[in-house]
Amino acid sequence: MPVSSSAPRFLAPAQVAELLSIEVDEVIALVYEGRLRGSQLGSPARWRIEESSLGEYLAEQSEEARRMALWRQANEASFPEVWGPSAPHGT
């Protein structure tokens, strides 16, 4: 019987840790924080992470990095360069 393409695929925490270059404990912490979707499956129960949530997490991290870069860029811009030297003061 073929597995439905809509059925979630699961990864072991060690696989996720390797993909993200973090420790397994950090992967489990991300599950508890709700940033990754995971469940304890099987007997004995072992953590498994939904593969789709990994993609969502990476997209979230990428967007956060993009926003931080824009914030840094805006923060580094000097006001004379932004407003010009002839901008009125205190108006």
CATH number of the domain within which 43 lies? 1.10.10
What was the pLDDT predicted at 28?
95
Pairwise CA distance, residues 36 & 40, whole Å: 13
What was the pLDDT predicted at 20?
94
Domain encompassing residue 36: 10-76
Residue 74 CA, chain-centre distance (Å), reads 23
What was the pLDDT predicted at 87?
53
Positions in the chain short of pLDDT 50? 1
What was the pLDDT predicted at 84?
59
Domain annotation covers residue 88: no
HSE-CB of 1 using CA atoms within 13 angstroms: 1
Residue 24 tokens, joined: 């397994």
